[in-house]
């Protein structure tokens, strides 16, 4: 038995460890409340973080985990399955990337085309030359670390796709020169970097931007072209020309770098193969994929995929209790 197996299997059967991307925190919190009300004897531990960082902690045996939910469904296939940590990928939500800024920031003037900002019904498109504002001296674009978080590497992918879409030589590198890595950009907690004070723009999931706009009347975001915003399954072959290579998360000396191609934004989940609490994990995933999850994601985002999707080869590996909640077929709607 591996050291990871010894560590996690020593836990009580009355526990549940839910490891998830920070981008689904609000929705998962709602589902966790329902789970706790239905299973009062189970101690539920919520672990939130960058999806790649969480995967690395699982691989190193540093983080007990039953349910793993990632902001990029590809992380399960490319990071966990090769290490035999997972058997299947369930795609359960979708979204798109937008460009956020503050209406009060002089550096953001002219970034939006004409139109009323009234989310979620009315979102202005980015101005035809929006990217030029991001190249002005002193402009800073916030990003999480591309080796730790899909939101981070998607910023790099957007830069590459923008270069191709606008046929602007070297635009990707020019945009990346303005990129700054923030651990928790935009949260407003304590001394964390914040939009408008420490940086001017951020590529961010639309549902996260909408939540911030609701709390801050000066917060704005614009819709990028669908060839750039990673929103459309039909563009996947186009998106795949952009990719990011990250360090592998396997054992030292055997962790080959992993190339992650750009794809439409979709969240995925799995129950770990060596989950110490598989019955609790199945019960929780059933809620995520069922009515409780649909309600939580409709209220908080990202948009639920109902029924959730699983590849035909993965379907037989699913716990029987959740097979009725998914559809076997292409992974993206």
* pLDDT tens-digit series, residues 65-107: 999 999 999 999 999 999 999 999 999 999 999 999 999 999 9
Residue given tokens 């981008």 in the structure block: 23
Among 46, 242, 71, which Cα is nearest to 148's? Answer: 71
* pLDDT tens-digit series, residues 223-278: 999 999 999 999 999 999 999 999 999 777 767 899 999 999 999 999 999 999 99
Is it the case that residue 313 has pLDDT exceeding 80?
yes
Domains delineated in the chain = 3-94+265-328 (3.40.190.10), 97-237 (3.40.190.10)
Model pLDDT, residue 333: 67
Structural element, H or E, at residue 163: helix 150-166
Model pLDDT, residue 178: 97
pTM check: above 0.85: yes
Alpha carbon distance 331, 333 (integer Å): 7
Burial of 110 (0-12, 13-18, 19+ CB in 10 A): exposed
Residue given tokens 């962790």 in the structure block: 255
């Amino acid at each position: 038995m591996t050291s990871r197996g010894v560590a996690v299997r020593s836990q009580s059967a009355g526990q549940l460890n839910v490891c998830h991307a920070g981008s689904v925190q609000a929705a998962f919190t709602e589902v966790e409340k329902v789970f706790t009300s239905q299973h009062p004897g189970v101690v539920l531990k919520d672990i939130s973080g960058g999806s790649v960082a969480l995967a690395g902690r699982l691989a190193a045996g540093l983080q007990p985990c039953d349910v793993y939910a990632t902001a990029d469904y590809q992380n399960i296939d490319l990071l966990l399955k090769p290490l035999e940590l997972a058997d299947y990928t369930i795609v359960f939500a979708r979204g798109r990337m937008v460009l956020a800024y503050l209406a009060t920031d002089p550096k953001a003037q002219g970034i939006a085309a004409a139109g009323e900002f009234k989310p979620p019904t009315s979102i202005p498109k980015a101005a035809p030359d929006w990217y030029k504002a991001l190249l002005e001296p002193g402009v800073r674009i916030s990003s999480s670390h591309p080796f730790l978080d899909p939101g981070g590497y998607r910023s790099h992918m957007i830069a590459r796709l923008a270069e191709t879409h606008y046929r602007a030589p070297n635009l990707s590198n020019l945009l990346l020169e303005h990129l700054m890595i923030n651990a928790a950009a935009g949260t407003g907690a304590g001394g964390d970097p914040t939009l408008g004070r420490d940086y001017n723009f951020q590529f961010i999931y639309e549902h996260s931007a909408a939540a911030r706009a609701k709390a801050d009347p000066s917060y704005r975001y614009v819709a990028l072209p669908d060839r750039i915003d990673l929103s459309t399954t039909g563009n996947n072959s186009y998106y795949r020309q952009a990719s990011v290579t990250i360090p592998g998360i396997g054992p030292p000396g055997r962790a080959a770098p992993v190339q992650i191609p750009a794809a439409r934004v979709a969240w995925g989940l799995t129950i770990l193969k060596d989950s110490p609490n598989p019955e609790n994990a199945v019960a929780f995933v059933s809620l995520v994929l069922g009515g409780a999850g649909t309600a939580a994601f409709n209220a908080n985002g990202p948009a639920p995929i109902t029924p959730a999707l699983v590849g035909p080869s993965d379907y037989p590996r699913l716990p029987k209790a959740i097979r009725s909640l998914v559809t076997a077929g292409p992974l993206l709607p």
